[in-house]
Chains A and B, each alone.
Chain A
Amino acid sequence: MNVSGLESSEFLPFAFAFLIGLSMLLYAILDGYDLGVGILSQSVGQEDRDRMIASIGPFWDANETWLVLGVGLLLVAFPVAHGIVLGALYLPVSLMILALVFRGVAFDFRKKAEPRFRPLWDRVFWMSSVVVALCQGYMLGRFVMGFEKGLYPQAFAVSFGMLVVAGYVLMGSTWLVLKTDGELQKLAIRWSRIAIWVMVMGAILSSMSAVFADTRIYDRMLAFPELTLLIVMPVVSVILTLLMHFLCGVLPLPDDKLSWMPFAIAVCIFVLGFVGLVYSFYPFIIPGKLQIVDAAAAPASLMVILAGAVLVLPFLIGYTMVAYYVFRGKARDLSYD
């Protein structure tokens, strides 16, 4: 197998690292907005809560599947890395899974169990959304620190957990700006304005602390030309933040103009943050420990998966677009009949 002059054994690991990265980024954006809506769901009354949850009802399951795909591809393409990551994170992974379990069923039980249990399931839904976000951020923090032990990496991971909560709140609130109207939309606009400041400032602070605490990241980032990237990214983020800030000052506009824009800005922020994060440890698949090329499974099996992925992904993107088209516009009450 020869792809653009590279042997398949060299090309495949990077193709898979790219696919895994893409799945994780899509997961963070897509499940990010529905987790964010979950985190915000206890901040409003029952009627608005129903509308908020109705806005994510048709999508959340497919959104979560990106996590299954990302972790699944990690498992099949880099079994050794998968074992190290999930072994080191056994307890937070287990906690996150339990929270995902409760969150997934709360969606249904809140409407299908007896009405007296509804406040309970609503609370479960909110709580599990918070726990999922915290766990994911914490695990990402541990991962970035190469699973090092000690007070500083732990503190970093915990603050990263809170950062991810803020990030998901940003995704969730901007999603609600897009999918709701009236008072709830105004509330979501206020949330978006606060969330983006918290998120971007938090991200800049934690990048700084990572750069100066970790000599590896320091060496990587403070060398030329990487330094330009290190400077450009926060600057672009701050410009986007200011844009969001002023946009939120004028929204909602007549005919609901530009209500899509906060969500688009939030997506840009996520993409930027993701690129910065990946750049800090590339070409390692486990920061400081294991390189992408050293960790891959057998090329023949990877080729089989890659062929399947290339064949299936266009269909997947196509019918995902169909679903978003069917449920376009402002969220209405979800009923079966």
Chain B
Amino acid sequence: MDAFLLSRLQFAANISFHILFPTITISLGWVLLYFKLQYRSSGNAKWMDLYFFFTKIFALTFSLGVVTGVTMSFQFGTNWPGYMNTVGNIAGPLLAYEVLTAFFLEATFLGIMLFAFRRVPSWLHTLATFLVAAGTTLSAFWILALNSWMQTPAGFEMIDGVAHATSWEEIVFTPSMPYRLFHTLLGSGLTVAFLMAGLLAYRWLRGDRGADVKSGLKVSLVLAAVLAPVQAVVGDLHGINTRDYQPAKLAAMEAHWESMNGAPMVLFALPDGKERRNRMEVSVPKLGSLIVTRDPNGYIRGLNEFEGFHPPVAPVFWSFRVMVGLGTLMILVAFAGVALLWKRRLLPDWFIRVLMLMMFSGWIATLAGWYVTEVGRQPWLVQGVLLTRDAVADLPPAHVGLTLTAYLVTYALLLAAYLASLFYLARRAGVAAEKGETVS
């Protein structure tokens, strides 16, 4: 294997492992703030029980997010020098603002949020929780601004092969940025809602059925029921935006090899990149055009218009279906949960088991979504500006192979330790509840 492929695999492994953690902390911070505010207004100890249970998970998740993020920031330099050499004038300020406005803020106030509940006045502790949540979200804002710029670059000019900024407003708010930002934030909210529901379902099944577990389950189901349908709408609008600005990606998502009016909606297919057609295609006539153009006979651009410069079709096509499938499932489960809570006040055991099964659905949907958008941008690193293969460092393949192996082993270990700790923390919370250890 050559250093290019190895560097790509390494970056894909790093970024896939990394996103698992921020996608939790971005929303969990706000949920923690909600618990803290509920406690302040009601004085009910169950909210602080929930707060302390989930701050432990937040802290663990946060440190994994930080350390895997540091890894990526170094890789820009070690493996992809062409990226900064070409678009450093754009990417640099965005990354610097992320560090300056978000990283220090969240890192500093995390200490107060985690360890200073009894040291500082309650309002300061609440403020620290707010600032940590704001920091994670601000961080998401900057990094998604940069990612969106790479997808739909604007506000710059090329001088001697190097990008120079002409309008920072256009750079930060590129055409795809608002859609990607809200889509990602909602995805984070759903990931957290189902993670919380799953963990609390696990506690429930172990006989740990205190007021905190009941309220936590209710909060997570309501959160999921509110966010999941909104996500469907935002996702659809994001797709329309992709039609206008990244038609090659959209064609790969839908496996449309030829441009046509009244394109079908492909439900199942095995896209064949060599013969440039679908095998075993099952499709609904005209539905594709109806969804994407709002007109059953609308014109959709096919992959034939981008030959040589479109992404590999199968991974994009399938990732998209995994994401949409899970999103649909989330809507069903969340609505069913809220309906059950409404009618029966208590969730039946079979549904609790469903919630446990759905615990990591957000992770899978998030990864699938990022594969759609990142693989879908290939072969470009910055759409229309810089090809991925032109940015890679000329490193000895053996060195990259070595580090890739080390990363993969490390990540497998850490993922196992993380999951084991999540369940251990859930069991320990149950033991503490039995002994009657609460904050009040």
A-to-B contact residues, CB < 8 Å? 57-59, 61-62, 64-65, 67-69, 71-73, 75-77, 79-80, 82-83, 85-87, 90-91, 93-94, 97-98, 100-105, 107-109, 112-114, 117, 297-298, 300-301, 304-305, 308-309, 312-313, 316, 319-320, 322-323, 326-327, 334-337
On whether the beta carbons of B110 and A61 are closer than 8 Å, the reply is yes
On whether the beta carbons of A90 and B92 are closer than 8 Å, the reply is no
Residues from chain B with Cβ under 8 Å of A327 in the complex: 111, 115-116, 119
Q: A75-B95, A87-B78, A91-B403 are in contact. Are A101 and B67 (CB under 8 A)?
A: yes
Q: A65-B103, A86-B74 are in contact. Are A305 and B92 (CB under 8 A)?
A: yes
**Secondary structure type dominating chain A contacts:** helix
Q: A76-B84, A101-B68, A105-B67 are in contact. Are A323 and B111 (CB under 8 A)?
A: yes
28 of the cross-chain contacts (CB-CB < 8 Å) are A58-B112, A61-B107, A67-B70, A69-B104, A71-B74, A79-B81, A83-B393, A86-B74, A90-B78, A91-B403, A93-B74, A94-B406, A98-B407, A102-B410, A105-B63, A109-B417, A112-B425, A114-B421, A297-B89, A298-B89, A304-B168, A305-B92, A305-B97, A316-B104, A327-B111, A336-B115, A337-B48, A337-B118
Residues from chain A with Cβ under 8 Å of B99 in the complex: 65, 68-69, 72
On whether the beta carbons of A312 and B77 are closer than 8 Å, the reply is no
State in angstroms the CA–CA spacing of A103 and B68 once bound together: 12
CB < 8 Å: which of A79, A87, A90, A319 contacts B84? A79
CB < 8 Å: which of A86, A298, A300 contacts B78? A86
Residues from chain A with Cβ under 8 Å of B52 in the complex: 336-337
On whether the beta carbons of A319 and B117 are closer than 8 Å, the reply is no
Residues from chain A with Cβ under 8 Å of B85 in the complex: 79-80, 83
State in angstroms the CA–CA spacing of A300 and B155 once bound together: 14
On whether the beta carbons of A114 and B89 are closer than 8 Å, the reply is no
Nearest residue (CB) in A for B425 is: A112
Residues from chain B with Cβ under 8 Å of A313 in the complex: 100
Residues from chain A with Cβ under 8 Å of B393 in the complex: 83, 87
Residues from chain A with Cβ under 8 Å of B111 in the complex: 57-59, 61-62, 323, 326-327
CB < 8 Å: which of B66, B116, B406 contacts A104? B66
B306, CB-defined interface residue at 8 Å: no
State in angstroms the CA–CA spacing of A87 and B70 once bound together: 17
On whether the beta carbons of B115 and A86 are closer than 8 Å, the reply is no
Residues from chain A with Cβ under 8 Å of B119 in the complex: 326-327
CB < 8 Å: which of A104, A113, A114, A323 contacts B67? A104
On whether the beta carbons of A336 and B421 are closer than 8 Å, the reply is no
Nearest residue (CB) in B for A67 is: B70
Minimum-distance CB pairs A-B, first 10: A76-B92, A58-B111, A83-B81, A86-B77, A104-B67, A301-B89, A62-B107, A61-B107, A79-B84, A101-B67
On whether the beta carbons of B109 and A323 are closer than 8 Å, the reply is yes
- Distance to closest chain B CB from A307 (angstroms): 10
On whether the beta carbons of A112 and B73 are closer than 8 Å, the reply is no
Which of B53-61, B226-234, B235-243, B272-280 forms part of the interface with chain A? Answer: B53-61
Residues from chain B with Cβ under 8 Å of A72 in the complex: 73, 95-96, 99
Residues from chain B with Cβ under 8 Å of A65 in the complex: 99, 103-104, 107
B12, CB-defined interface residue at 8 Å: no
Residues from chain A with Cβ under 8 Å of B104 in the complex: 62, 65, 69, 316, 319-320
Q: A108-B60, A323-B111 are in contact. Are A90 and B395 (CB under 8 A)?
A: yes
Nearest residue (CB) in A for B112 is: A326
On whether the beta carbons of A297 and B88 are closer than 8 Å, the reply is yes
On whether the beta carbons of B164 and A98 are closer than 8 Å, the reply is no
On whether the beta carbons of B81 and A73 are closer than 8 Å, the reply is no
State in angstroms the CA–CA spacing of A157 and B238 once bound together: 52
On whether the beta carbons of A100 and B84 are closer than 8 Å, the reply is no
B114, CB-defined interface residue at 8 Å: yes
State in angstroms the CA–CA spacing of A83 and B88 once bound together: 12
Nearest residue (CB) in B for A334 is: B115
B351, CB-defined interface residue at 8 Å: no
Residues from chain B with Cβ under 8 Å of A101 in the complex: 67-68, 70-71, 410, 414
State in angstroms the CA–CA spacing of A108 and B95 once bound together: 27
Most buried by A among B55, B60, B93, B425: B93
State in angstroms the CA–CA spacing of A87 and B67 once bound together: 21
State in angstroms the CA–CA spacing of A75 and B399 once bound together: 22
CB < 8 Å: which of A102, A300, A319, A334 contacts B89? A300
- Distance to closest chain A CB from B70 (angstroms): 6
On whether the beta carbons of B108 and A62 are closer than 8 Å, the reply is yes
Residues from chain A with Cβ under 8 Å of B103 in the complex: 65, 68-69
Contact with A along B105-132 (1 / 0, CB 8 A): 1011111101111111000000000000
- Distance to closest chain B CB from A75 (angstroms): 6
State in angstroms the CA–CA spacing of A300 and B89 once bound together: 8
B162, CB-defined interface residue at 8 Å: yes
Nearest residue (CB) in B for A80 is: B85
Q: A68-B99, A312-B101 are in contact. Are A79 and B88 (CB under 8 A)?
A: yes
On whether the beta carbons of B105 and A319 are closer than 8 Å, the reply is yes
Nearest residue (CB) in B for A104 is: B67
Residues from chain B with Cβ under 8 Å of A100 in the complex: 67, 70
- Distance to closest chain A CB from B140 (angstroms): 16
Residues from chain B with Cβ under 8 Å of A94 in the complex: 78, 403, 406
State in angstroms the CA–CA spacing of A327 and B111 once bound together: 9
Residues from chain B with Cβ under 8 Å of A102 in the complex: 410
On whether the beta carbons of B115 and A301 are closer than 8 Å, the reply is no
Contact with A along B414-432 (1 / 0, CB 8 A): 1001001100110000000
On whether the beta carbons of B84 and A83 are closer than 8 Å, the reply is yes
Residues from chain A with Cβ under 8 Å of B112 in the complex: 58, 322-323, 326
Residues from chain B with Cβ under 8 Å of A336 in the complex: 52, 55-56, 114-115, 117
